[in-house]
Chain A
Amino acid sequence: MSVDVVPMVEARAVCKHYSGVEVLKGVDLTVNRGEVTCLIGPSGSGKSTLLRCINHLEKHDAGELLVDGQLVGYEARDGKLYERSDKQICVERSRIGMVFQRFNLFQHLTVLDNVTIGQVKVKNVSPDAAATRARELLARVGLDAKEKNYPSQLSGGQQQRVAIARALAMEPKLMLFDEPTSALDPELVGEVLDVMKDLARSGMTMIVVTHEMGFAREVADTVYFLDRGIIEESGDPRQVLTAPSSERLKSFLSKVL
């Protein structure tokens, strides 16, 4: 990858605090286009918070955060920063897919409607075109037979695959996964990881918060270890996961492996 291409995500000294508690204390991170980045770290270290900042669900309070070369939440014009309007933020969010630990499928909509609603209501795609695209995506995650079911009628693994299809339907340039397999029974983890591996192979830029070290080792281009709000260590997964240099990463790995 050439150096002069703008990275998909670039964080420089990003800070975030909630009512006095410092959650992110200057995070530096670069995610190149078409690459898979895994974010690992102990509970409460700020992984979800970082993803939420990237997706404009939270406002970071210091540092610089760029997605696709654009400042998150602000627009730089003639030497000033202009806060973005809610409308602009919505447009930005629609280009970033997000997959949650607890799936968060819309409970009152069928599987098909879950995958079409964003296309129709946000991207103004016609309902027919949206349904066609939704069926393609559902076939891709292996759930074309379930389109008429409600989420409560699906297993956790199936729900998470629908959630991935729902995010992909918006044609995102970046996909964020927040512990997508943590709420699943062990035998269902594989089917979701397979869909994600497939997605990674197709060239999607992905940031994955995960405790699945096997997945990180196999798929990730870069692994970041976030601990107490700062990046303790980062680099090639084979290097980081097998020969960690920091003591905290060593003790973390000994607990999760």
Chain B
Amino acid sequence: MTSDGGDAVKVVPVRHVGRWIAGAVMIVVVAMLVHTLFSKVSTGQVSCRTVNGLRTCHPVTNWRFSWNIVFHYFTSSEILHGLLLTIELTILAMVMGIVLGITIAVMRLSPNRLLSSTAWSYTWFFRGTPVYVQLLFWFNISAIYQSLSIGIPFTHVAFLHINAVSLFNPFRAALIGLGLNEGAYMSEIARSGLIAVDEGQIEAASSLGMTRGQTLRLVVLPQAMRVIIPPTGNEVISMLKTTSLASAISVVEVLGAAQNIYAANYEVMPLLITASVWYLIITTVLSIGQFYLERHFARGAQRTPPPTPIARLRQDVKGILAKFRTPRPAMTREVTA
């Protein structure tokens, strides 16, 4: 970027005409978007008042996107309750999915053929059917199983009896449905992570006398995490949004809460926006968390870890300031020469 003067040669930078045009178009598009988002429309009514005996009238306008209603419901207790349920469902279903997924992945890679084919069938089944159908299935399962019992198959010996209707309340049905389905996707992610760990690491662990379990826990999984974390972050974000399907089986999560409200006041669009803004906020928080998690598990894999966004911002600002501050010695010298 800088040259130390002397016999500097004048550099004529390439003019990126295409980039300038694309940039200008983008600015116009964004401006239009912002304009329409915050535009006002006439309600067709007129408001009049009398000041000092003079009667003045002007048309009443409203936000096209009813931001006032969005704002009003944004922190209402129904929406916040729903939000809490959304977060709860996301976390619990993901935990279930991750635990199941890693278990299935380990089974899948087991030399035991029975274990590996069971794992394969699990993934085949749960990936092959829509999650929406699965949710409806668990919600309605008490129709075919009045009670669940654990015992010895083909005998009447039972150790545990549970009433299915009380077990599969809407929240649990949603949790089981989402968690089991997620387990199938997580198992593929976990499997690719486990396979990515070098065979030599396993040999080194065995030659130290570690058992299979220790090798998996202490050597393979921590290294697989580097591969597993990024797609898992995507899964969490995807799960956050998929929990909205639970509203179809009468779980009042954030979308369900919004639906309940607009069923009463018909403000459909503002409440859908309310829910969407909350989804966006949580997604943003999750993305930030994912960045730091990835950084943590990448240790040892790279010689120098990537900078945090804040560090990068500081670097960028410094770079731009430096550009403005330093005069271009090469250019001036060229002119005077």
Contact = CB atoms under 8 A, between A and B. Distances in A.
Contact of B223 (A93, A97, A108): A108
A117 B303 contact: no
Interface stretch (A10-18, A32-40, A148-156, A204-212): A148-156
A90 B208 CA distance: 8
Interface stretch (A65-73, A98-106, A135-143, A238-246): A98-106
Nearest to B222: A108
Given A57-B203, A107-B201, A108-B222, A117 B208 contact: yes
Contacts of A102: 200
Interface stretch (B148-156, B211-219, B236-244): B211-219
Interface string A112-152: 00000110011100000000000000000000000000111
Contact of B299 (A108, A117, A122, A163): A108
A122 B203 contact: no
Given A117-B218, A151-B300, A153-B303, A106 B207 contact: no
Interface in B127-153: none
Given A93-B209, A97-B207, A106-B201, 18 more contacts: A55-B207, A90-B211, A93-B207, A94-B209, A98-B203, A100-B203, A106-B205, A107-B223, A108-B297, A108-B299, A109-B300, A118-B208, A121-B210, A122-B209, A150-B299, A152-B302, A170-B208, A170-B209
Which range contains the number of B residues in contact with the other chain?
Answer: 20 to 34
Given A102-B200, A104-B204, A106-B219, A90 B300 contact: no
Contact of B206 (A93, A107, A151): A93
B300 A104 contact: no
A158 to B, nearest CB: 14
Contact of A90 (B203, B209, B303): B209
A86 interface: yes
A93 B203 contact: no
With most chain B CB atoms within 10 A of its CB, the pick from A87, A93, A95 is A93
A91 interface: yes
A105 B204 contact: yes
Contacts of A105: 204
A58 to B, nearest CB: 11
Given A57-B206, A102-B200, A121-B218, A108 B300 contact: yes
Contacts of B204: 98, 100, 104-106, 163, 166
B209 A107 contact: no
Interface in B184-239: 198, 200-201, 203-212, 214, 218-219, 222-223, 226
B188 to A, nearest CB: 22
A50 interface: no
Interface of A: 55, 57, 86-87, 90-98, 100, 102, 104-110, 117-118, 121-123, 150-153, 163, 166-167, 170
- Secondary structure at the A interface, as helix, strand, loop or mixed, is mixed
21 contacts: A90-B209, A93-B207, A93-B209, A94-B209, A96-B207, A100-B204, A106-B204, A106-B205, A106-B223, A107-B223, A108-B299, A108-B300, A110-B300, A121-B214, A122-B214, A150-B299, A150-B300, A151-B300, A152-B300, A152-B303, A167-B207
A108 B200 CA distance: 14
B301 interface: yes
Interface string B274-303: 000000000000000000000001011111
A166 B208 contact: yes
Nearest to B304: A153
A102 B203 CA distance: 11
Contacts of B301: 107-108, 152
Contacts of A94: 208-209
Contact of A86 (B211, B299, B300): B211
Contact of A87 (B211, B226, B303): B211
Contacts of B214: 121-122
3 A-B pairs with least C-beta separation: A94-B209, A118-B208, A104-B204
With most chain A CB atoms within 10 A of its CB, the pick from B207, B211, B219, B300 is B207
A103 B326 CA distance: 49
Contacts of A167: 207-208
With most chain B CB atoms within 10 A of its CB, the pick from A86, A109, A123 is A109
Contacts of B299: 108, 150
With most chain A CB atoms within 10 A of its CB, the pick from B198, B210, B301 is B210
Contacts of A121: 210, 214, 218
With most chain B CB atoms within 10 A of its CB, the pick from A92, A105, A108 is A108
A166 B204 CA distance: 10
Nearest to B200: A104
B209 A104 contact: no
A249 to B, nearest CB: 30
Nearest to A102: B200
Nearest to A176: B207
Nearest to B214: A121
A68 to B, nearest CB: 15
Given A121-B218, A150-B300, A104 B203 contact: yes
Contacts of B205: 106
